[in-house]
Amino acid sequence: MFVHRSMVKSTPKWLFNNGENNGLNLYWLEIPDHTTLSEMEHYLHYLDDDERKTYEAYRVEEKRIEFLLGRVFLKNLLGVRLGLQPDQVRFMKNAYGRPYLIPSQAQPDLFFNLSHTRGVIACVIAPWDKVGIDVERTDHDASDVMRVVFVEKEIEFVNSQLTSDAKRQAFYRIWTRKEAVMKAEGKGFSLPPRSFTVPLEGECVSDGKYEYLTYLLIPDCLCSLVVKKPEP
């Protein structure tokens, strides 16, 4: 029923050793239009008690579907690596709400991050802890929040674009990178988005601290992946 795709894309050079991927993998899933919650109820056993509370806290059916399928998708991917059934995979959270594998399942080279937006779920699995991903639909203008989340030079860059489409793409490039950094650091919005800057242009770039990869997963859906360089 679902489209499950594994993405192979040019990634930052330092992630490779002699041209071979060092273990970073990006996966995404498209949720078909008109998917209903009743079709998904047989997946509810994948959720533990805390996840079930989060699921039930969503009042919009679309968000419940995204959350449930995100957990199902992630647990299937991790279950393969752990040799477990997907519904046996269990998470705990840090102080900021970022999920990690419970200690009895944790591996020293197995980390992940998950993002979902309208109709799309994306997941990155990597051998480094400091990895984050954000995916956003770009078919609407959200630039009214720039003063809250962007620093002045980021706002000026967006406003300098010559067309409304270019402004929208610039906005989402910056925003997805910022959110991916906040997730890579494991702090979410506890790390204020105006407390740091990200590269304004380019698909695959570095600022000396993080590596960034940004591109369209599908039309009108932008994804940014961020990895913090491991210490030498």
Topology of the domain comprising 3-228: Ribosomal Protein L22; Chain A (3.90.470)
Tell me the domain boundaries of the chain: 3-228
Contact, 133 vs 223, CB < 8 A? Answer: yes
pTM for the full predicted model: 0.89
Q: How many CA atoms lie within 13 A of 159 on its CB side?
A: 10
Specify the DSSP element, H or E, that contains 109.
none
Could you read off the pLDDT tens digit of each residue along the chain, which spans 232 residues? Answer: 344 444 433 344 444 333 345 678 888 888 988 899 898 889 999 999 999 999 999 999 999 999 999 999 999 999 999 999 999 999 999 999 899 999 999 999 999 999 999 999 999 999 989 999 999 999 988 888 999 999 999 999 999 999 999 999 999 999 999 999 999 999 999 999 999 999 999 998 999 899 999 989 888 999 999 998 676 6
Burial of 57 (0-12, 13-18, 19+ CB in 10 A): exposed
Q: Report which DSSP code applies to 9.
A: -
Q: What is the DSSP string of 47-81?
A: --HHHHHHHHH--SHHHHHHHHHHHHHHHHHHHHH
d(CA 109, CA 122): 20
The pairing of strands 221-228 and 99-101 is unpaired
d(CA 131, CA 114): 10
Token output for 141: 């203008």
Residue-wise pLDDT for 133-150, tens only, equals 999 999 988 888 999 999
d(CA 168, CA 173): 9
Structure-derived torsion over alpha carbons of residues 68, 212, 214, 94, reported in degrees to the nearest 10: 10
